[in-house]
Every structure is written in C-alpha cells, then in structure tokens.
Structure 1
Amino acid sequence: MTDPAIQSAGATLPDPVVTVSGAREIAADLRVIPNDGVDLVPNIGVIGGSDAVLVVDTGIGTANAAEVLAFATDVAQGRRLYLTTTHFHPEHAFGAQVFAGEATYLVNRAQAADLATKGAGYLAMFRGLGEVIARRLEDARVPAPDVVYDGVRELDLGGRTVRLRPTGRGHTPGDQVVEVPDAGVLFTGDLAETGQFAILPWFPPHDTDVTAVGWLAVLDRLSADAPRVVVPGHGEVGGAEVLTDVRDYLRELRDETWHRRDSGLGVAEIAAQVRAVLVDRHPGWAGREWIEPGVGCLCAERP
C-alpha cells in the first residue's frame, strides 16, 4: 500500500530519532520525551506511580524503542513497567517488540484489531518512504500486545491511577487517549497535533477507516473535559487550546469541503480550492499534503 500523500511526506524526511535527553517533567513523576518538531517522531510519555511506570508510545523502530526503554527503566528504578500505544501507526507502536519481557504491553481491542489486520500493510508502506525510514524499520515486527481490554482500562501505578480510554473511530478505529487525572494531563496521540494540518490517513481503496466527522465528535467530548495539559501526538505541549484548535480546523475543513461538494464540483477541484483557502488561513502550518486526503474523506462522508 503506497499513497501519494505518504510518498510526498516521506520524500525529504530527516532521520526520525527519539532524543531522550530532551525529556522534561511536566508534573510530578510525569515526563514527556518531546518530538522537537521532527517528522515521524511522536511525543512519548513516561508516567510514574509508587509501584509502576507507564510508557506511552515507543517511537519508530527498535533502536528508538530501545532508547525509550532504557530511559524508562532508569526512571523506574525497579518499579514495574507497562507500555501502551495511542494507536497502531508505526511511529507510535512499531518498537513495542523491544519491550517484550521488560514491560506489559496493553492496548484496546480495536487497536489490537488494527495491528492484526493493517499492521503489515503499514509496515510495508512506511518502509517505502525512503532509505532512512526503511533502515529504522528493517528489523521491526508488527507488535503483539500482552493484554487486550474492552472499554476504559484503569491502571493503578501506586498512588496514581491512569485511564486508558478508547475514543471510538477518529484518526484510526483503535484510537485511545491516556488520562492522568491527578495531574490534569491528557495524551491524545494523533487526535491532536500542533502547528500542522490534521493527518487524515484516507488511502482508498486500501484504508478508509479515518472519519473526520467522528474525529470532530471525539474532540468535542475531550474539549468538554478541559484538561490542564494536553500532550499531542506531534508538536508542542499545551493546554486545552490544543484540542480546540484541531477541532476548529476540522470544522473549517468540513465546511469548506461540504459547501463545494453541494456545488457539483469534482473531488480534485474541491481539494484544490479548499487547499488554497486553508493554506491562506494557516500559512505557517506544516503538513499541507494532508489537506487533499481530508477533502476526500469528507466528500465520502457528506450526508
């Protein structure tokens, strides 16, 4: 499976190195390894309680994951390790094999299904992004979770309970957020990002599971909770505005697309017009290649 938007995005990608030395504590015993604006590097969480430590996302490939595991092991100082991933995409989950035997890997049932049914295709697609990415993924395997759960999973780390909450289909069918209620912190995965156009992986006929309409509904619910700190999948950590900014953009994308869809234009014409409007409104944002897939998704979702 190869999509022009992915090929375009991968053409000039830098090496997606996770730099654990940049980790910063955003609350007591709660650290974020930031992506520092590097493509295909997620923000990674290391959340501690008195008895255990939870890692959120792995980075792409085994070398990055080994760095994250070493960092988390040093933080844990003998505490039990857990791992979860916000969704199945390779830069978030395709390093989980490194944690086998060192941490318990938990995912929700829909994400487990994504891994099983789409993981191999995404691994092949990402390996096709270029030599740098292929090298990162040369020994990676589709992750196999230790624990698969239904509904919300509350994980007791000792004096701190973390909620692993599936959101329903949005960016992917298996999206989940990770809530740290005592600190008011929310990890969103790619349901929210800062400084770029939302990534809608609309790849017909291979993968059309993303739903912009469902994603908007998810962001409405998350925004209503008004978290103090939001850790997006990529980009700068911020407050609740991280959620509302993405929600507002998806509304813009929806409204501009559906307005033109009613006029009888073809999808390519609609995409060209919508791209021009949105780039003009958000000239500093990265990821312009994701506007066209978003238009395609919303054209398909038009009532």
Structure 2
Amino acid sequence: MAKAFASVGDMEEKNVSFTEIGRDLYAFTAEGDPNTGVIIGDDSVMVIDTQATPAMADKVIEKIRSVTDKPVKYVVLSHYHAVRVLGASAYHASETIASDLTRSLIVERGQEDWDSEYGRFPRLFQNAESIPGLTWPTATFATSMSVFLGSREVRLIHLGRGHTMGDIVAWVPDSDVMYSGDLVEYHSACYCGDAHLQDWPKTLERLAQMNPKALVPGRGDALTSSDQVHEAVALTRDFLAALYGSVSSAVAKKMTMKEAFEACRAEMDPRFGSYAIYEHCLPFNVARAYDEASGIAHPRIWTAERDQEMWAELQG
C-alpha cells in the first residue's frame, strides 16, 4: 500500500514551547516542526529562521512580545529552505542575513524549492497567500560575521557544508549558546535531499569543538545542557552514517535506487523509524545519497514534479 506523500497526512496542530536556554535566549519549538531562535540584546532582537509564512511567523512574534517590546532588527536565515525563510516579512526587520552560498542557492533554486515544499508541508503553509515573494538577504558573508545587539555579540559562522552547502550557525559567546539550524536535529529525521553527506560529519565535528552549553536544533526540543548537545550531535552523526553507509554500499553493488531504498530502510527503520518526519524524509534522503555515491556532487534541484516522480518510484 502506497504511503501518503511527504507530510500531506500530518495535519494535526503541534504544541508550541517557548523555552529560555540562556539569558534572554529563547527557542520556539513545536514537536518536530521547524524551530525558530530568538536572541534579545540591549536594544533589539534577532530571529533565526522565520517559519514558512507570515501567518506562522505571527505565532513566534506573539511569544517574543510576551518577553520583550524591543524591535526585531535582524532576521537570520540558517539556510534557504522555504519552511525556514518565507515568513520573514512578518518581522519587519532592518536586515536579513544569510551566507553568500545561501543567496546563490536562492538564485539557483529558490522558486522551485518554494513550490516543492508547499506541496510537501500543507499544514506549515497556513495562509500561504500572505507570502509576498522569495525572501532575499540584504547582507551576506563568506565565512563569518559578527552582529551586535547593543553590547551583545552574535557570531554567524559558516562551518562547512552539511544540510545544504550554505548552512550557518549563530553563536552567542557571552552564554556559549548555539542555534544550529538543520545541521543538528534531536529525535527528528535529518532531511538530506539537498545535503553534502560526506562533508556533513566534518562540519558537525567543527560545531562540537565549540562546546555549546545549550543548543537549538533545527527540529526537536531545545537542548539545555552540554550532555544533551553531545547526545544530539551523536544522534545526528549516527543517522547520517547509517544513511550514507547503506546507500553507498548499495551503489557499490550496482543496486537500483529502489533496491538501495529497501536496504537503507532495513538499516534505519529499527533505529530511527520513530523520529519526527522520518517517513517524509527517507525517500528524498536515499535519492540524494544515491546521487552523491554515484558521483553527483552538487544536489539536483527538487521540483514539485520531481518530488512526485521520486515518491512514486520509491514509496509506491
């Protein structure tokens, strides 16, 4: 029996949490839905990842206003995916910041990604008509950039390729707190459809060397201790190793992608099958792992049409 496409069957509203993980540092989480980070400085607020629509962003803004009346001056895009960036206009920020590489990916595939993710995540695109268009950064950087919220410094850092080639983290040095975007997940599947799977573990190693005392992952609960951070990084690394290990082995044996999918499922289902969005991600993950193991270095662009074709091939 064919499985429902992506997350179209997941229409149940999630419970939102707004957790303080350091002094004036917050995590907006919702049971495996995309997380948003909030950093409050002396004179203004920074938001990391914006939700998928302005209407969804309003839920974050309501939480921000419960703790501060300072203006949101900065929006930071950890990467380019539509569910992370298309709600940006709701914050009326002065600056929208991303890596140079993320901007190049928006140029290359921003509209295709929007169309694709709209079909995959109908619940996250509430009031999609409120989206004014693609979210474009007003400032970009190559490797690192410091932003000051009054005296509070936030360092934005490109640690390497992983979930996408343009991922950045936000590091708050006065508290040793990190906002990782989708480089780290906690009891949620890694989405790897646009990933660089051989690079991602190296990027995680650089992240771990910074020794965060608390961390907001891309999905899953806020991590409020060093032990939880270490656990989440290890689980993310294990997920990636199981995925790429099983699929690259299948490619070496000249298996078809469907055969590689079944081999990967046998390896991963017992360990990760209970994770949020696991069934949604697995076909996209295997397709990308199969490509990378076959020598396709730059992830192919997902379109709404390609999504459906791949799903029918692997999950049909």
Give the shorter-chain TM-score range: 0.7 to 0.9
2:287 aligned residue (253, 277, 296): 296
The number of equivalent residue pairs is 286
Aligned: 1:31 with 2:26: yes
Check 1:234–1:227 CA distance in 2 against 1; reply closer, same or farther (3 A cut): same
Check 1:295–1:79 CA distance in 2 against 1; reply closer, same or farther (3 A cut): closer
The answer for the alignment partner of 1:112 in structure 2 is: 103
Aligned: 1:195 with 2:187: yes
User: What RMSD in Å do the two structures reach over aligned CA positions?
Assistant: 2.5
Cα distance in 2 for residues equivalent to 1:268 and 1:180? 44
Cα distance in 2 for residues equivalent to 1:134 and 1:70? 18
* C-alpha contact (below 8 Å) 1:35/1:42 kept by paired residues: yes
Aligned: 1:172 with 2:164: yes
SS of the residue corresponding to residue 156 of structure 1 reads strand
The share of aligned pairs that are identical, in percent, is 26
SS of the residue corresponding to residue 182 of structure 2 reads strand
Quote how far apart the aligned CAs of 1:48 are: 1.5
Quote how far apart the aligned CAs of 1:73 are: 5.2
Cα distance in 1 for residues equivalent to 2:90 and 2:103? 18
Quote how far apart the aligned CAs of 1:115 are: 2.2
The answer for the alignment partner of 1:278 in structure 2 is: 268
SS of the residue corresponding to residue 6 of structure 2 reads helix
* CA displacement 1:177-209 (0-9 Å, x = unmatched): 1111221211111111121331112xxxxxxx4
Residue type of the partner of 2:241? R
The answer for the alignment partner of 2:226 in structure 1 is: none
* C-alpha contact (below 8 Å) 1:186/1:227 kept by paired residues: yes
The answer for the alignment partner of 1:206 in structure 2 is: none
Residue type of the partner of 1:242? A
SS of the residue corresponding to residue 143 of structure 1 reads coil
* CA displacement 1:133-165 (0-9 Å, x = unmatched): 554322312112222223201111233211111
* CA displacement 1:65-96 (0-9 Å, x = unmatched): 23333543564434562111211112211111
Task: Give runs of aligned pairs for residues 248-287 of structure 1, distance below 5 A.
Answer: 248-286=238-276, 287=278
Check 1:297–1:147 CA distance in 2 against 1; reply closer, same or farther (3 A cut): same
* CA displacement 1:105-134 (0-9 Å, x = unmatched): 211211122223322112222333476455
The answer for the alignment partner of 2:44 in structure 1 is: 52
Aligned: 1:9 with 2:1: no
Aligned: 1:241 with 2:236: no
Cα distance in 1 for residues equivalent to 2:19 and 2:192? 29
2:209 aligned residue (219, 224, 230): 224
Quote how far apart the aligned CAs of 1:16 are: 6.4
SS of the residue corresponding to residue 153 of structure 1 reads strand
Residue type of the partner of 1:260? A
* C-alpha contact (below 8 Å) 1:230/1:240 kept by paired residues: no
Quote how far apart the aligned CAs of 1:23 are: 1.4
1:184 aligned residue (176, 181, 204): 176
* C-alpha contact (below 8 Å) 1:52/1:76 kept by paired residues: no
Cα distance in 2 for residues equivalent to 1:213 and 1:227? 23
Check 1:56–1:255 CA distance in 2 against 1; reply closer, same or farther (3 A cut): same
